[in-house]
Chain A
Amino acid sequence: MDFPVFHLDFLGNRLLIAIIAITHVIMSHTMAVGGIPLITFLEWKSYKTKDPRWSKLAYKILFVFFLFTTSLGAMTGVGIWFSTSLVNPTAIGSLIRVFFWAWFVEWGAFVTEVVLILCYYLTWKKWDNDKDKLKHIKLGLYLSIASWITMVLIVAILAYMMDVGSWKGTHSFWHAVFNPVYLPQLAFRTTWGMFLAGGAALTVMAFLKDLDGEFYKMGRKSIAKWMLCWLPFVFLASCWYWSVVPILMRENVPAALTTQVFQHWYQGVLTYTFLGVGIIVLIAFMILNPKTTKYINRPAMIIPYAIGLVLIGQFERVREFIRKPYAIANYLYANTIREEDLPLLTNEGILKYANFARVRKITNENRIEAGREVFKIACTRCHTVSNIGINSIQDRLYSMFQDQPRDGEFKDNIEHYILNIHQARPYMPPFPGNKEEARVLAEYLAHLHKNREELLGDQVLGTKLIDN
């Protein structure tokens, strides 16, 4: 409510962020945090065994990782900022105010990482001799550390969004950083990144043509071993992370609901994860076993990474789910409203205090417009209006009321629902306006039934500046 409202009525705003963020997570975890150590390991193998073929293989994998991380990876990182600052500027703006120095240091690490990867990549051929090889391997080691440090810092921020811990009372930077989810999540991301880097490398190998057959098998074997070595750590870190997730969940929502909605879905995620990891491990073992290795042909080498990508997408969804109804736990709701503002807004009205509301006073003439405005401020971060949009409010209402007439009784019901929306469905934040605003919102929702409309964001409609 502090900013004009960016809204995509078909895609939904959250999906925009999700697409960009998940792409970034995939690139950064598997090709940088996990990928660079794997490449350095292969390079070291070349040094130790004096077999230059390892170095050649490592370089080819690095080439692909380099292309992707420095274009798609880097720009989706910036894209997370762009998209979140459009969709929930209050959230990202608040986070930056609290975490500025962490982010600033993170930027330093990020600059270091980019400089190092440029050096690492561009000096490979020049330093590919007995004299300089060890120096180059050390460079890879430093790059691995720098990549990991960027993750160490950014995960602190992500973890804080899920649970602000004792920050809320103290507003202290260190309390915010060392909140209870931090270390488990860091371990979780690190080990999965290492594990799936193997999947990414196998995928690259699936497309490599000019390695001799015998070495090709050795290379795959080595990567499969890498994955299996990380597997126990993946398991431990996942258990640790998984064990703190429901505690968090219970803080926001009572156990009854956890069992009802979440548990079901949570079980699903667990099952799929075990199944997915099972397949990956099976493929790794088949590569290792001389009897079965021939069954893993090139297309099959892509499977572990493909599964990994789906799983990463799921994990990010879990994180997203846990946060609801908050964007920053116990401080800011997903619809950009601060919890501490509620006493004011629910009594005196949100239209009065929102920076960019088009309607300040509700009159008999502007009730629909006012309702639309309230909807825009309070509901559009999660709902679309167009009936083909994602999580469309028209759809939701239809599934609740079907063709029941949208008359006075309906409006009373909806008004009541809105005022208790956080009780009806705890993943939704409390309604941030007063009674009259709940009423006009109900009237707007009734109006939608007959007048199928689309809601355009302020990036198309523009804004109005009215004194409050």
Chain B
Amino acid sequence: MQIDETTPNAARSAASGDDRTLGALLAARGVSRRAFLKYSSYLASLLALPASMAPAMAASLAKAQRQSVIWLSFQECTGCTESLTRSLSPTLDDLIFDFISLDYHHTLQAASGHAAEEARMQAMEAHKGKYIVAVDGSVPVKDGGIYSTIAGMSNLDILEETTKDAFAVVAIGSCAAFGGLPLADPNPTGAVPVTELVTDKPVINIPGCPPIPEAMAAVLAHVLTFGILPELDSLGRPKSFYGESVHDRCYRRPFYDRGEFAESFDDEGAKKGWCLYKLGCKGPATSNACATVKWNGGTSFPIEAGHPCLGCSEPGFWDMGGFYRALSVPTGDVARIAAVAAGAGVVAGAAAGALHRATKSAARGKHHTVTVEELEEK
């Protein structure tokens, strides 16, 4: 194999026989084992693993080799890449970029044209059965997939070719995980999520518009450390990040429980930081870690900035009947239990969230929107 500046890292390592461990590679750059241990403590915390596992994780990480990642971008806006590359703080979080070898990524790679496609093929060959394919964007399948092509190939063909020998596929962002904006009604390109197309490999969904960068990094680090995928929920999302709703962990939750709601964006309630439910907050029906991990290096999250949660990490969030309308719920028992939950605190509130989730697809079909007053009357 001829190696030049366009040869991707992994293929370069394989070709040059550089099979050094992460520990050896990073030690050469002055990264100590203590840093590995610290990273592992942080990782264990993010992944909700016992803190006592950190030393074993550090040892395993140091022995691992760089993980080859091939990143495919389809019908997307590049916000997911922006999220991953810009939001991590330049010390501990960004160690993930030392742990992985990003062998193909349209936006970030220096190579272009034939050299870029060659890089993808080389990485696939050098790491057969071991590489991870990260996908952002949905895949258009209407009219033979002509609505999005790269290097003359449809997204569908590239996905099929690239995932063939992959270890796992990570669907990054709501478009890849659930179809996102391209799939929104009337879905002119026939967009479908990655999970509907890749059925012979494990697919991890990391939804969000964009997803929380720590979630993307932690999933990759989990694979590197343990060699297996993290525990996933029924929608293929890592439980450690999507195991609870935004509402379960929202700091405005005490106001919700006391029935104190902002009615408009500049009323007294809004100024006092009351619950944003009536302004359309989708927090009760949205599984994500925004309220705990937060955004922009832990600065805040939308609700903290006074804006209701849009529910961007849930399937079909664009077609939920209006961002600023109170959650759509069907009538009957759900309304009654949600009203009881509103007065009964965390556990009952979580039940209401589950009910919102369980019934919202039906509500979406009907586009029946109720206010909190209506909900409590029923």
**Pair from one complex:** no
Interfacial residues, chain A to chain B (CB-CB below 8 A):
none
